[in-house]
Amino acid sequence: MDKLIIKGGKKLTGEVSISGSKNAALPIFISTLLAPGLHEISNVPFLRDINTTIKVLESLGGAVQGNGNIVSIDTSNINSVEATYELVKTMRASVLVLGPLLARYGRARVSLPGGCAIGARPIDQHLKGLKALGAEINLSHGYVEATAKSLKGARVNFDMPTVGGTEHIMMTATLAKGDTIIENAAREPEITDLAMMLIAMGAKIEGAGSDTIKITGVKQLSPVNYRVMPDRIEAGTFMIAAAITGGDVKIKNMQLGDIDALIFKLLDTGVEITNKNGVVKVKGPKRLKSVNIKTRPYPGFPTDMQAQFMALMSVADGASVIAENIFENRFMHVSELMRFGADITIDGRSATVKGVKKLSGAPVMATDLRASASLILAGLAADNTTEISRIYHLDRGYESIEKKLAALGADIQRVKE
Ligand code: UD1
């Protein structure tokens, strides 16, 4: 197993380029199941979750080939409608194959994902949506089995804006008969990106990016070439890396408008952010100011940036209250941040972070994807050496993060444990 060794205290400077979005690429890959033929997806990041999605598609009979950041997916010969426990347990997003397979083949069988490190994460809303479209759903032996002679458009009102649920029903409804209206839809930019891919395939979709999405079913969709949007969470993580080290970093290939909630909070902490010809410059202040955040569905503050922002607040002047409203168990990084000397107390779904002058490097353990990023950020700001173990979480969602940070002047190395 690999671990990261960081010698902290270096101000980051220079230029970094943001990779394609993991969370957009996953459903985009899966949506190729809706149209038989050869699709070409570009700006794909090299990540473990992408490899898992490729394995899922291959297990269904898809033929996948990579050439740098371009991936060709041929879905002409799909010969299975089952996603196994082995695949779904490694990556929850695999459940998104259920609806597209059902829409194309009238039947699909997919393992239930179960809980994960950050909470229970049920898929009841996905199943509610599929049932509304006319699917018959049976749960047995840990699998969801869905069948439908034909799917019919319907009104689907989600109990909460779920990203995966919205993507799942939007994809499935493209091939249902008539109109589907998704109410209380999630509005994340990755949903809009998926909608743009589906529209390019011939789907009729209006309102993606708002809380009401209308999908008018079509008889068939065609394969396309599509470029994945930049990863806004990776971009946000590099913005915080610049801020926490008092650095001065230029970020290329990011879409500034996708992460406004973070940008406004960073400005409040005293970070300078300027945008010149699409290159975003982030300059950290001598001493950061504390601000409070509450995670919310988009356009609110993203839960996927909560752990990284907490690392930042652990060295800010004053106290910050961080409320996690999306997942019930997403404070596992707190005890690890405290090993750096951070002063944090948790009360239910809120954490109070009292900024300290300096963090001190420590051996720590990564617990989930974004928690791993927060430990790297703390390590960059801390004095002495930090060792982060269990970094396989990191490889699920950040492309070459240690190489990108090293190019900005960080002293960071990956070593075999
Ligand atoms: C996606 C992102 C993840 C991000 C999350 C919230 C991907 C691959 N992952 O996850 O990085 O942290 O959005 O922005 O895009 N819920 C239910 N029932 C359901 C579905 C969801 O109760 O059927 C709950 C969840 O437990 C959670 C909340 O709704 O509390 C939001 O989850 P959701 O938006 O669905 O997250 P994911 O799509 O799994």
Predicted confidence (pLDDT) at residue 173 exceeds the cutoff of 80 = yes
- Compute the average pLDDT of residues 302-306: 98
Please choose from 326, 370, 398 the residue to mutate so as to test ligand 1's pocket, defined by most ligand atoms within 8 A of CB. 326
- Name the band, by pLDDT with cuts 50, 70 and 90, for residue 121: confident
- Catalytic, 116? Answer yes
Ligand 1 neighbours, Cβ below 6 Å, are: 23, 26, 92-93, 119, 121-126, 160, 162-165, 186, 190, 303-304, 326-327
Q: Of ligand 1's atoms, which has the minimum distance to the CA of residue 128?
A: 23
Q: Tell me which residue has its CA closest to atom 20 in ligand 1.
A: 123
Q: What's the confidence (pLDDT) of residue 115?
A: 61
Phi and psi at residue 20, to the nearest 5°: -65, 155
- Pairing between β-strand 179-183 and β-strand 212-216 as defined by DSSP bridges: antiparallel
* Ligand 1 centroid – CA 212 distance (Å): 18
Nearest residue by C-alpha to atom 36 in ligand 1: 163
Q: How far apart are CA 248 and CA 16, in angstroms?
A: 11
- Give the pLDDT of residue 113: 85
The protein residue whose alpha carbon is closest to atom 33 in ligand 1 is 162
CA of 185 to the centre of ligand 1 (A): 12
Reported confidence tier of residue 417, pLDDT bands at 50, 70, 90 = confident
> Residue 161 C-alpha to ligand 1 middle, in angstroms?
8
Tens digits of residue pLDDT in 192-230: 999 999 999 999 999 999 999 999 999 999 999 999 999
Mean pLDDT of 279-299: 98
Ligand 1 atom with the shortest distance to the CA of 186: 34
pLDDT for 119 beyond 80: no
- Pairing outcome for strands 70-74 and 63-67: antiparallel
Q: Which of these is catalytic: 5, 116, 218, 356?
A: 116
CA of 355 to the centre of ligand 1 (A): 30
**Atom 8 of ligand 1, residue of closest alpha carbon:** 23
More confident residue, 412 or 328: 412
Phi/psi at 263 (5° precision): -60, -45
Q: Going by CA atoms, what residue is nearest to atom 3 of ligand 1? A: 304
Please tell me whether residue 186 adopts helix, strand or coil conformation. Answer: coil
Nearest CA to ligand 1 atom 17: 122
Which atom of ligand 1 is closest in space to residue 326's alpha carbon?
A: 30
Q: How far is the CA of 164 from the centre of ligand 1 (A)?
A: 6
Q: Express each pLDDT in 128-152 by its tens digit.
A: 999 999 999 999 999 999 999 999 9
Local structure of 368: helix, strand or coil: coil
Residue 324 pLDDT greater than 70, yes or no = yes
Contact 352, 323 (CB under 8 A): no
Distance 93 CA to ligand 1 centre (A): 10
Residue 329 pLDDT class (50, 70, 90 cuts): confident
Closest atom of ligand 1 to CA, residue 328: 30
d(CA 19, CA 117) in angstroms, rounded, equals: 25
With CA atoms as reference, report the closest residue to 31 among 208, 155, 184, 158. Answer: 208
Looking at residue 180, its pLDDT comes to 98
Residue 46, classified by CB atoms within 10 Å of its CB into exposed (0-12), middle (13-18) or buried (19+), is middle
